[in-house]
Structure 1
Amino acid sequence: QVAGAIAAADALPGVAAAVGDRLCVLFDSGVRTGDDVFKALALGARAVLLGRPYVYGLGLDGRAGVEHVIRCVLAEFDLTLALSGHAAPATVSAADLVEDAR
């Protein structure tokens, strides 16, 4: 969020490696979809936070809108897990990601 700074997702693997099991790494930066949750976990986050998406749901339909957004993100995450051959989030790793060669 600072011009010229490293993106949070790019910094995440280094942060996770530096703290090891001493700290629980939470990721909260531009997470909008279940795919984003999967990527953050694969890059080393232990948990992923949603900021803006639930606010959209809140504005749309109050509590029911928030619940709908969370259900949609979780459903997409579950689908991504299954399509990548995982039964549980704990088994996701960086090996599940392919680097864009652009």
Structure 2
Amino acid sequence: MGADAVVVSNHGDRQLDGTCSSIAALPRIRDSVGDRVELLVDGGIRSGQDVMRALASGARACLVGRAAVYGLAAGGEAGVTRAIRILGRELDVSMALCGVSDVPAIGPDHLLAPE
């Protein structure tokens, strides 16, 4: 269809019982679109571990509106900056614990495969 990017988001999950979460849908969507488009994920990103999980599942980037809004409410512009820095530090720790030194090296092998 000519799109440069796709945002995987499931805001309906809050109202529809039994729907698939964004993170659960992400690998199948990545498999479907390949590397032809940028793939972003929205919903449920509350920590650096969530960011790592999303990147390992095929996302190129995460949308972190909730963290930004909470930071804004707590401390204005400085609060938003702090919230984003916290996510970055948590991502750094998660990567280090997985033996990953740079974001492009994060991949599906960093996820625990379901049995």
Q: TM-score range by the shorter chain?
A: over 0.9
Separation (CA, whole Å) in 1 of partners of 2:104 and 2:22: 21
- Does 2:90 correspond to 1:76? yes
Deviation at 1:86, TM superposition (A): 0.6
**Mapping of residues 52-67 of structure 1, within 5 Å:** 52-67=66-81
Superposed CA RMSD: 1.2
Structure 1 distance, partners of 2:32, 2:114, is: 24
- What is the CA distance between 1:94 and its match in structure 2? 1.3
Higher strand share: 2
> For residues 17-96 of structure 1, what are the structure 2 equivalents within 5 Å?
17-96=31-110
Task: Show structure 1 runs of 4+ deviating over 4 A.
Answer: none
Aligned residues with identical type, % of pairs? 41
Give TM-score, length-normalised by structure 1.
0.93
Amino acid at match of 2:85: R
- Structure 2 residue ranges without an equivalent (≥5): 1-12
Higher relative contact order (CA 8 A, sep 6+): 1
**What are the ranges of 5 or more consecutive residues in structure 1 without an aligned counterpart?**
none
Distance 2:89 2:114 in 1: 25
Flag the 1:20–1:100 CA change in 2: closer, same or farther, 3 A. Answer: closer
Matched positions, count:
101
Aligned-partner residue type, residue 17 of structure 1:
D
Corresponding letter in the other structure for 2:33: V
